[in-house]
Amino acid sequence: MTERYSRQQLFQPVGNKGQQQIRSKHVLVVGAGALGSASAEALVRAGIGKLTLVDRDYVEWSNLQRQQLYTEQDAQNKLPKAVAAKNRLRQINTEVKIEALVMDAQPANLESIVQTADVIIDATDNFDIRFILNDLSHKYEVPWIYGSCVGSYGATYTVIPNVTPCLHCILKKVPVGGATCETAGIISPAVQIVAAYQITEALKILVEDVEALRHTFLTFDVWNNQHAEFKTGKMKSDKCSSCGSFQTHPYLAYENQLKTEVLCGRETVQIRPSQRHLYNFDELEKRLKKQGKVDRNPYLLSCQLPEQRFVIFQDGRVFIHGTNDIQFARSLYYRLLG
């Protein structure tokens, strides 16, 4: 027994064999915000063999209250969350192979990763991506663990392909609207509780203790002392296009993927080009300096306009902060980059 993981190995359901299994496994965490930070740190401390972290955003000051991997310096430098997370995680455990990917969580980007993963942790902030994860999970038969939180509320559910109902079975379609962290706020205990449930389920999968998995959809409100679970077994539909007998995985179809979207709960529009576009930041900086103050790092370039902030990532994606008007954002995009 190695000293590093000795207390975890003393826990009988893990033991020496379970620790070896954890060490040989690969976990994909999609999203490096509040849930992603907590989950990634727990997995790295547990001694996972490989962690792949996917996130499209960068560290901002409002993240620091609950996103435990990040520092004020990360926010000042506008470091992509995946990069900042990897920097911190490498300080925690050098034995873990960590892959940090600054990109949108879309099927074309995720398929090759999912095929090599043993479990997927949902740490996203929107249901469009969750439905994509749900379809990828069933296409490649990789378990995934849903998680969400806002205010003092949280929810989590474990999806095992060919065994449990999938998210599509339960929700039927992508929900529209609802409270967000931007509108309702969030307290970090809600994050930590959801992450604790998610990581516990992940560890059960990694050590192959499938009998211990929880087969309920769990919700709680930690502030109002409420806790509820409901059984989902009867919700599984043989006609479900994601997990039924005739699977078409509809949310992997290109026409069902957002190209321009308002980011969840934020006055920010993301524009994703139809094809990957690598910008020359030196040339772009010269051009945008005529429009406003420009800051940059190796991963993104930011231009402060009078009323909006324009952020260009290396993969061609653009965030336009200060508006949720998609048509206006598109016109601004073409005016500055077209």
Q: Distance from CA of residue 36 to its chain's centroid?
A: 6
pLDDT at 173 exceeding the cut of 70: yes
pLDDT of residue 254: 62
List the 309-313 sheet strands across, edge first.
260-262, 268-271, 318-321, 309-313, 300-304, 293-296
Task: Provide the β-strand partners of residue 220.
Answer: 154, 227
Task: Please tell me the distance from the alpha carbon of residue 129 to that of residue 51, in angstroms, as a whole number.
Answer: 19
> Which residues are bridge partners to 186 per DSSP?
151
Read off the pLDDT of each residue in 289-295 and give the average, rounded to a whole number.
92
Mean pLDDT of the 149-169 span = 95
What is the pLDDT, as a whole number, of residue 179? 64
Cα 132 to Cα 70: distance, rounded to the nearest angstrom: 27
Q: What pLDDT does 220 receive? A: 96
- The owner of tokens 């296009």 is 241
pLDDT score of 292:
92
Quote the pLDDT of residue 40. Answer: 98
Of all residues in the chain, what percent carry a pLDDT higher than 90? 75
Rg over alpha carbons for the chain, rounded to the nearest Å, is: 20
For residue 157, the SS3 value is strand
Each residue's pLDDT tens digit, 128-155: 899 999 999 999 999 999 999 999 999 9
Mean pLDDT, the chain, rounded, equals 91
In a 13 Å sphere around the CA of 318, the CA atoms on its Cβ side amount to: 25
Say yes or no to pLDDT of 61 above 60: yes
Tens digit of pLDDT for each residue in 195-213? 999 999 999 999 999 999 9
Going by pLDDT thresholds of 50, 70 and 90, the confidence category of residue 326 is confident
The structure tokens 């915000």 sit at: 33
* The predicted structure's pLDDT at residue 71: 97
The values of phi and psi at residue 30, to 5°, are -105, 110
Neighbours of 227 (CB within 10 A): 11
Give the whole-angstrom CA distance, residue 142 versus residue 205: 10
- Which pLDDT value is given to residue 260? 75
Residues 6+ away with beta carbon under 8 Å from 121: 27, 28, 29, 30, 35, 36, 39, 43, 144, 145, 147, 198, 199, 202
Q: What is the pTM of this model?
A: 0.90
- pLDDT at residue number 198: 98
pLDDT of residue 172: 83
If one compares 230 and 334, the residue with the highest pLDDT of the two is 230
Going from the C-alpha of 161 to that of each of 3, 119, 278, the distances in angstroms are 36, 11, 37
Question: Residue 275: pLDDT band by 50, 70, 90 thresholds?
Answer: low
- Say if residue 166's pLDDT is above 90: yes
Residue 33: which pLDDT band, with cuts at 50, 70 and 90? very high
> Is the confidence at residue 264, as pLDDT, over 90?
no
Which two tokens mark 208?
């192959």
| Higher local confidence (pLDDT), 178 or 284 | 284
At 300 the pLDDT is: 92
pLDDT value, residue 257: 58
DSSP labels for 215-228? -EEEEEETTTTEEE
What pLDDT score was predicted for residue 126? 85
Residue 180 identity: T
Distance CA 270, CA 319 (A): 5
Q: Kindly tell me the burial class for residue 204, based on how many C-beta atoms sit within 10 Å of its own C-beta (0-12, 13-18, 19 or more).
A: buried
- Name the pLDDT band for 337 (thresholds 50, 70, 90): confident
Mean pLDDT of 296-319: 91
Predicted pLDDT of residue 184: 73
Alpha-carbon gap, residue 259 to 109, rounded angstroms: 14
* Residue 327 confidence (pLDDT): 87
Would the pLDDT of 93 be above 90?
Answer: yes
Q: Helices in the chain by DSSP H: which ranges?
A: 6-10, 15-23, 34-46, 72-76, 81-92, 107-114, 127-140, 167-171, 181-184, 188-206, 281-288, 326-337
Q: What tens digit of pLDDT does each residue of 180-199 get?
A: 676 678 999 999 999 999 99
Higher-confidence residue of 35 and 261: namely 35
Res. 1: pLDDT tops 90: no
